[in-house]
């Protein structure tokens, strides 16, 4: 982000009450800018009351906006969240895939529903994500944070080109501890707040709880892949991911989830050692969305991620028909599952090209 890019622009700032977006308020106002702040409200479930952690978030957001003389408005995206993010997640889950609600939340809510409700009145939308944008040869790119553990470019990799054009990440060049130091130095009320965990907007609900609330349970057999023997029951295929090693509740482990048969509702596991089947060195992705306008090809050598981990894997890309790409990874990857996003970066894992969904 450079100052020429943002001065004289109308800026909407997404303020969650957490430390990162609070420091965004400080960063923008110290540059003499006056963003309007917005708190996005999403309740835990249709009928439930506004929960107390969100109340505290809103109080913090209000205090931080007031400290810097910025307006704060609350935008209700409750319906959109449940209709779009939850529907997407549950549809994928039912089909046996492993979707990522946090990824879709950026596209559908923070830069989506919010834009329709309020963001369209602004030139730019600022958030406290750990990611950067850079202009390279006249095009705006999403680039990684210098903090590999906090980097959130993978969560942003599904946003659309117009959304990237509107996005700015004013703390994206800092390391997490630097952001905390600024917050403490500036006496921000949110300085010592814990990092948010769990699913975006739903706070402490974990993924299994989220799925259980929506889809309930659907018990079926657990079968040992090699012998075809039934060795137990599962409560629903959606509680399991390919490559999973823990939390299977079967005796005599370790067990590894190898595959799911959605039609027969069977979970296949393998026993005792990490089987070669749990690893893949080659897979295909489809539906690749390029983040940067005017870019429609991947380079031959790339790095990629299929999970929110600090490490990137090196790979060679083979372009196939129908907008598909074959990813030939340099090393074997554990737990490659259909429906996951594969996020592609340049060989230096600096520029993010975008993401596609793993086909097989």
Active site residues: 105, 200
Q: Which is nearer to ligand ATP, 147 or 240 (CB)?
A: 147
* 3 state DSSP class of 323: helix
User: Rule CB under 6 A: is residue 21 a binding residue for ligand ATP?
Assistant: yes
Q: Which is nearer to ligand ATP, 92 or 129 (CB)?
A: 129
Helices 52-67 and 19-30, packing angle to 10 deg: 10
34 — phi, psi (to 5°)?
-125, 80
Stretch that binds ligand ATP, among 18-26, 253-261, 265-273, 306-314 (CB under 6 A): 18-26
Stretch that binds ligand ATP, among 123-131, 202-210, 298-306, 319-327 (CB under 6 A): 123-131
What is 235-269 written as a DSSP string? S-GGG--TT--S----SS--EEEEEEETTTTEEEE
User: Rule CB under 6 A: is residue 110 a binding residue for ligand ATP?
Assistant: yes
- Residue 252's Cβ-count burial label (10 Å; 0-12, 13-18, 19+) is exposed
Stretch that binds ligand ATP, among 122-130, 156-164, 215-223, 312-320 (CB under 6 A): 122-130
Pairing of strands 124-126, 132-136: unpaired
Q: If we measure between CA atoms, which residue out of 46, 28, 45 comes closest to residue 37?
A: 28
Give how many residues touch ligand ATP by CB under 6 A: 17
Which tokens sit at 355?
């993401």
Distance CA 130, CA 198 (A): 17
User: Rule CB under 6 A: is residue 129 a binding residue for ligand ATP?
Assistant: yes
User: Rule CB under 6 A: is residue 200 a binding residue for ligand ATP?
Assistant: yes
User: Rule CB under 6 A: is residue 33 a binding residue for ligand ATP?
Assistant: no
Q: Which is nearer to ligand ATP, 61 or 291 (CB)?
A: 61
Q: If we measure between CA atoms, which residue out of 249, 254, 302 comes closest to residue 278?
A: 254
Looking at beta carbons, which residue is closest to ligand ATP? 18
User: Rule CB under 6 A: is residue 151 a binding residue for ligand ATP?
Assistant: no
Interface ranges with ligand ATP (CB under 6 A): 14-16, 18-21, 38-40, 110, 127-129, 195-196, 200
């Amino acid at each position: 982000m450079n100052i020429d890019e943002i001065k004289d622009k109308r800026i909407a700032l997404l303020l969650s009450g957490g430390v990162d977006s609070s420091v965004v308020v400080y960063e923008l106002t110290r540059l003499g800018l006056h963003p309007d702040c917005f708190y996005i409200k999403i309740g835990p479930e249709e009928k439930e009351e506004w929960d107390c952690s969100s109340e505290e978030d809103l109080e913090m957001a209000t205090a931080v906006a007031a400290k810097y003389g910025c307006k704060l408005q609350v935008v209700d995206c409750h319906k959109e969240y449940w209709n779009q993010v939850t529907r997407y997640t549950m549809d994928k889950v039912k089909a046996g895939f492993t979707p990522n609600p946090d990824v879709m939340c950026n596209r559908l809510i923070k830069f989506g529903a919010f834009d329709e409700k309020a963001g369209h009145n602004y030139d730019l939308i600022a958030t406290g994500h750990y990611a950067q944008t850079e202009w390279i040869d006249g095009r705006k790119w999403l680039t990684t944070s210098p903090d590999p553990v906090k980097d959130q470019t993978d969560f942003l990799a599904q946003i659309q080109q117009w959304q990237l054009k509107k996005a700015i990440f004013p703390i994206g060049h800092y390391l997490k501890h630097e952001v905390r130091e600024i917050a403490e130095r500036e006496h921000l009320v949110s300085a010592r707040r814990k990092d948010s965990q769990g699913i975006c907007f739903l706070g402490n609900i974990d993924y299994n709880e989220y799925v259980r609330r929506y889809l309930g349970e659907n018990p079926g057999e657990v079968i040992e892949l090699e012998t075809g023997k039934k060795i137990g029951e599962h409560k629903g295929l959606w509680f399991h991911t390919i490559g999973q090693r823990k939390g299977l509740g079967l005796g005599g482990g370790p067990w590894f989830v190898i595959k799911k048969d959605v039609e027969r509702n069977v979970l296949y596991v393998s026993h005792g050692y990490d089987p070669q089947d749990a690893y893949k060195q080659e897979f295909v992705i489809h539906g690749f969305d390029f983040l940067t306008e005017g870019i429609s090809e991947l380079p031959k050598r790339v790095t990629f991620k299929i999970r929110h981990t600090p490490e990137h894997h090196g790979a060679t890309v083979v372009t196939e028909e129908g907008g598909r790409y074959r990813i030939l990874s340099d090393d074997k990857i554990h737990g490659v599952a259909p429906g996951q996003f594969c996020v592609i970066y340049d060989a230096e894992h600096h520029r993010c090209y975008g993401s596609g969904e793993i086909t097989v």
